[in-house]
């Protein structure tokens, strides 16, 4: 029975093919369009279903890979942020270096730069190490400077590094004076000593200016510089500014609080004048 049906279907198909072959071209085209119009909606539904299936398959795969993709994006974002921070740090370092070089060229001494190797973040010990030593011509008691003013002095020297004692440490007292515009008496009467103060323990930038005559006018904001007395530091190096003043316990002198011009926690580079080597001497013809 099934065999007979198959033969019948094949016969009908052959007859339909022969029928299409003998039809005129115009009628044949119209017939094909009619048949296509009947089956086109079914083909469209099939294509749409296929596309929807592909979309569902894509969504399923995206959910499976979502966490991995998110992790990769976070990693790339983190790398971009680190690169940006490094770029900003380099720009800041270059700007600081340009300012330091401009300041160094205006100084009367031949100086060498030094980078800070180790520093106490809280300045409890008020000292730091620099990457210059005896092989660079550094000697004990060499002043240590930066564009903002006096940093300290070299206390110990090794071949390739040195220990610097900072201003305000009990072992680094500085002979200082008021600038001429701030002194009511002759400069010799406006001298004093910069040393550790009562507030230096919790604020390293706050030091004490002691042994000042009682009749010296101390105005807040007045500039304090090195006096050059005692041979410890060259004269005229900025130290800091007056905050306020009061009579000393002995009442024979006045003492003042001074805020240092150098923020020791922000230091990255310092400068050291070479001993007995001034630029004017180097410039003289031999």
pLDDT in tens, 88-97: 766 666 666 6
Q: Which of 188, 183, 257 is nearest to 220 (CA)?
A: 257
Rounded distance between C-alpha atoms, residue 175 and residue 264, angstroms: 20
Across 153-177, average pLDDT: 93
CA-based nearest residue to 269, from 44, 95, 115, 164: 115
What values do phi and psi take at 147, rounded to 5?
-55, -25
Q: What is the mean pLDDT of the chain?
A: 76
Q: Report domain extents, the chain.
A: 2-54, 112-275
Rounded Cα distance, 234 and 274, in Å: 12
Distance CA 158, CA 135 (A): 8
Query: Phi/psi of residue 113, each to 5°?
Result: -80, 155
The first and second tokens of residue 283, run together, are 């410039």
For residue range 46-84, what is the model confidence (pLDDT) as tens digits?
Answer: 555 555 555 555 555 566 677 888 888 888 888 888 877
**pLDDT band, very low/low/confident/very high, at 104 (cuts 50, 70, 90):** low
Average pLDDT over residues 139-168: 94
* Cα dihedral 35, 41, 46, 47 in deg (nearest 10): 100
Class of domain 112-275: mainly beta
User: Is the pLDDT score of 126 beyond 60?
Assistant: yes
């Amino acid at each position: 029975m099934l065999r007979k049906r198959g033969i019948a279907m094949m016969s009908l198909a052959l007859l339909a093919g022969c029928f299409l072959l003998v039809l005129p071209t115009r009628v044949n085209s119209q017939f094909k369009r009619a048949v296509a119009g009947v089956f086109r909606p079914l083909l469209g539904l099939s294509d749409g279903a296929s596309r929807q299936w592909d979309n569902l398959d894509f969504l399923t795969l995206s959910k499976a890979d979502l966490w991995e993709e998110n992790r990769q994006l976070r990693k790339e974002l983190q790398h971009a942020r680190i690169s940006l921070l490094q770029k900003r740090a380099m720009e800041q370092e270059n700007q600081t270096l340009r300012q330091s070089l401009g300041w160094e060229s205006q100084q009367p001494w031949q100086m060498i730069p030094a980078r800070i190797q180790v520093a106490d973040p809280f300045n409890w010990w008020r000292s730091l190490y620099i990457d210059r030593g005896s092989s660079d011509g550094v000697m004990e008691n060499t002043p240590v400077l930066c564009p903002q003013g006096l940093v300290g002095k070299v206390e110990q020297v090794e071949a390739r590094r040195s220990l610097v004692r900072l201003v305000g440490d009990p072992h680094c007292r500085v002979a200082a004076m008021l600038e001429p515009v701030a002194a009511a008496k002759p400069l010799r009467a406006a001298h004093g000593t910069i040393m550790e103060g009562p507030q230096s323990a919790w604020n390293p930038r706050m030091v004490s200016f002691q042994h000042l005559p009682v009749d010296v006018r101390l105005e807040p904001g007045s500039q304090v510089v090195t006096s050059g007395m005692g041979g410890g530091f060259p004269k005229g190096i900025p130290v800091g500014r007056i905050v306020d003043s009061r009579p000393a316990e002995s009442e024979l002198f006045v003492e003042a609080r001074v805020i240092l011009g150098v923020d020791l926690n922000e230091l990255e580079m310092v400068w050291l004048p070479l001993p007995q080597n001034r630029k004017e001497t180097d410039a003289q013809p031999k």
